[in-house]
Amino acid sequence: MIHPLALVETSQIGGNVTIDAFAVVRSDVLIGSNVIIHSHAVIEQGVQLADGVEVFPGAVVGKEPKGAGALSRKPVFERIVRVGAHSSIGPNAVIYCDVQIGEHSLIGDGASVREQVQIGSQTVIGRCVTVNYNVRIGNRVKIMDHSWMAGNMTIGDDVFISGGVLTSNDNQIGKKGYSDAHVVGPTIKDRAAIGLGAKLLPNITIGAGAVVGAGAVVTKDVPANAVVMGIPAKLVRMVE
């Protein structure tokens, strides 16, 4: 059912779709079957919502990155967003242009996902998580509430990132301007687990299956299956 007070500019709409009052769906949007778009959600041009997707109130999908002339890095993007079947976009989440989300993935309330981001299937991006530009996130990943993923970083499959984890991509803290060559976030390999509130410095690799203790500051590569903790993080043992 399309509510008479919804603004719907596209005609590419599958069967059994619900669009609530005051939702806005722009032209050139593709909507599969059994999609639910709640009140005050905004679906911008170039967005494709596969079957069974649900977009909660106030979410914006397909936001164009606009730097207002203030950003050191000029946003690079294509005007396309694909949300895979049965995925869900939480209330007030903002998904920028040029984002791909797999199937059965959850974007939590108030999360922000910037351009050039790929998110796999059965992955959870928790409440108020920020995923910055040009980030790859694998399948069955969990990123818990209020964590912050830096631009230019990679996260493998089956990774667990606890709440309040911070990552970084620029050791010069902006003093040398922006270049893709020196602004590089961490790489977190498959099955790694990052403890509550840990901080990962730029351009390090957390090896497959490694564990980073709560509150650690990781300044160097962590070998596969290692357990590290402390400030700076030190290897304490291998995973049993």
Ligand X SMILES: CC(C)(COP(=O)(O)OP(=O)(O)OC[C@H]1O[C@@H](n2cnc3c(N)ncnc32)[C@H](O)[C@@H]1OP(=O)(O)O)[C@@H](O)C(=O)NCCC(=O)NCCS
Give residues in contact with ligand X (CB under 6 A): 162, 195-196, 211, 213-215, 227, 229-230
Query: What minimum distance in Å lies between the beta carbon of 188 and ligand X?
Result: 15
Please state the closest distance from residue 22 (CB atom) to ligand X, in A. 38
**Tokens of residue 4, six digits:** 């008479």
CB 172 within 8 A of CB 156: no
What minimum distance in Å lies between the beta carbon of 46 and ligand X? 36
Going across the sheet that includes 187-188, the strands are 30-31, 47-49, 81-83, 99-101, 117-119, 135-137, 153-155, 187-188, 205-206
* Residue 236 neighbours by CB distance under 10 Å: 12
Give the nearer residue to ligand X in terms of CB position, either 52 or 108: 108
- CB closer to ligand X, 23 vs 226: 226
Q: Which is nearer to ligand X, 177 or 230 (CB)?
A: 230
- What tokens does 218 get? 């990781």
When the beta carbons of 195 and 202 are compared against ligand X, the nearer one is 195
Task: Work out how close the CB of 210 gets to ligand X at its nearest, in angstroms, rounded to a whole number.
Answer: 11
In the complex, residue closest to ligand X by CB: 213
CB of 69 closer than 8 Å to CB of 88: no
